[in-house]
Amino acid sequence: MGIDERINANIAAMGLTDPTPIQTQAIPSIVEGRDVLGLAQTGTGKTAAFGLPMLTRLIKFGKKPEPRTCRALILAPTRELATQIAQNIDAYAEGTPIRSYRVVGGASINVQTERLSRGVDVLIATPGRLMDLIERRAISLEAATYLVLDEADQMLDIGFIHTLRKIAKMLPKQRQTLLFSATMPKLMSELADTYLTDPVKVQVNPPGQAAKKIDQGVHFTTQGDKAALLAEYLSKHPGELAMVFGRTKYGSEKLAKLLDKWGFAVAAIHGNKSQGQRERALDAFRKGDTQILVATDVAARGLDIPAVAHVYNYDLPNVPENYVHRIGRTARAGRDGRAVAFCAPAEVGELRAIEKAMKAAIPVIGGEAPAMPQQPSRGQRGRGGKPQDGGNKRPARRPSRRPKSQKAKA
């Protein structure tokens, strides 16, 4: 597919021999130098799709980058995704002159400034920290001829649109740009028009659909019974890696402490954890030192840990698309996986929104769905819109019998 021989040897040693659909469709166009708009769910091999041809093109430069510059810029919405991309890029480029560097918040900006002073081939960054470094004049983007926006829809969701517009103005017009997204909201179309020139559009799974190898199920329960129910599920699969997603930082931390008290090997990552704490928790989880990782949606994308066998949605997400990203942490690298959602009565609306977004019902594997209140149809209404057969609409207010003069006075 036009990939450099040294990079091919590296990916073969990693066991990557057959390209995924997104790689098959995107790599030839990227090798040709075309801009690409890629629509694909997490876990489809996007990092290799843009990383392998990018490294192939960078190797041809044949000289080191200038101080405080980068030749390729990869933007990611979260620290975890940026870290995952950096690890993959380093593995693909091993034994080549290409050097990459990751800059994210929560780490020493002085250390990052010092490293960037020598220049870097590939810079992987979160938008906020990149702007901090630009304002300090620690990095210039004038030599960046290759730009990747990964999980661009999430960058919009968490409010990076204005930052992305600023960054776009600092890049040279003559560049190759790749934009990858799981969904295509209206604002994404505007972003694509701003960044891309005559792009090749590549789409694999329709947006909103989960991987076919994920065995999904929903268990109806009360909010107060969720913790005991989770412990019951976890006890059935000892020694297998599981991710548990909560809605809030406080709730996730509280749940992790409870599971630890009950004897489970557990760690937690969320926005209140420092970068060092998050990285140590992920490292222990990858090694299997902890079998359970409790997380908020900061871990819903970008974490590629093939051994994750189970995903539990302890709290259903407010954004339906996040459900697909969460359960995409399992069934990776050709493996099977299982995803269980715990649904309390107050979350039935979120469940229906998720099923509508996926265009598929999630099988019920436990509990009973609470009855949804329904408004009577027009055919069930009597004269004046009044419900028949004991409908639940409020009776019409009776007209006042007071004389007109009293009404006017009132």
Structure tokens at 139: 């990095």
268 in the same domain as 228: yes
pLDDT at residue 242, as a whole number: 97
The model's pTM is 0.72
Structure tokens at 341: 């959602």
pLDDT at residue 41, as a whole number: 72
pLDDT at residue 152, as a whole number: 86
Domain boundary among 148, 182, 203: 203
Q: What is the mean pLDDT of residues 404-408?
A: 41
Tell me whether residue 29 is in a domain.
Answer: yes
Tell me whether residue 191 is in a domain.
Answer: yes
Only one residue has tokens 């003069």, namely 405
Identify the CATH number of the domain in which residue 301 sits. Answer: 3.40.50.300
250 in the same domain as 148: no
232 in the same domain as 88: no
Domain boundary among 203, 231, 254: 203
Tell me whether residue 384 is in a domain.
Answer: no
Of 138, 54, 129, which Cα lies nearest the Cα of 93? 54
116 in the same domain as 260: no
Q: What is the mean pLDDT of residues 111-122?
A: 97
Q: What is the mean pLDDT of residues 215-224?
A: 96
Mean pLDDT, the chain, as a whole number? Answer: 86
Q: What is the mean pLDDT of residues 273-289?
A: 89
192 in the same domain as 93: yes
241 in the same domain as 153: no
158 or 1: which leads in pLDDT: 1
Residue 171 has pLDDT above 90, yes or no: yes
39 in the same domain as 112: yes
81 or 229: which leads in pLDDT: 229
224 in the same domain as 143: no
251 in the same domain as 224: yes
Tell me whether residue 390 is in a domain.
Answer: no
Residue 409 has pLDDT above 50, yes or no: no
153 in the same domain as 73: yes
Please write down the long-range contacts of 100-106, taking CB distance under 8 Å and 24 or more positions apart: 100/124, 103/129, 103/130, 103/133, 104/79, 104/129, 104/275, 105/79, 105/129, 105/132, 105/275, 106/79, 106/274, 106/275, 106/276, 106/278
117 or 329: which leads in pLDDT: 117
30 in the same domain as 157: yes
DSSP labels, 171-197: S-SS-EEEEEES---HHHHHHHHHH-S
Tell me whether residue 399 is in a domain.
Answer: no
Domain boundary among 366, 387, 405: 366
pLDDT digits (tens, 9 = 90+) for 369-402: 887 644 444 444 444 444 344 344 444 444 444 4
What share of the chain in percent tops pLDDT 90?
60
Tell me whether residue 378 is in a domain.
Answer: no
What share of the chain in percent tops pLDDT 70?
87
Q: How deeply is 367 buried, as exposed, middle or buried, from its count of CB atoms within 10 A (0-12, 13-18, 19+)?
A: middle
Residue 44 has pLDDT above 80, yes or no: no
Distance of alpha carbon 201 from alpha carbon 261, whole angstroms: 50
Cα angle 274, 278, 280 (rounded to 5 degrees) comes to 115
pLDDT at residue 396, as a whole number: 43
Tell me whether residue 94 is in a domain.
Answer: yes
Number of domains in the chain: 2
237 in the same domain as 188: no
Lowest mean pLDDT across 30-39, 211-220, 237-246: 211-220
pLDDT digits (tens, 9 = 90+) for 351-360: 999 999 888 9
Tell me whether residue 322 is in a domain.
Answer: yes
Query: Which of 60-64, 153-157, 299-303 has the highest mean predicted lDDT (pLDDT)?
Result: 60-64
Domain that holds residue 236: 214-366
Q: What is the mean pLDDT of residues 184-201?
A: 83
Identify the band that residue 209 occupies on the pLDDT scale cut at 50, 70 and 90.
Answer: low
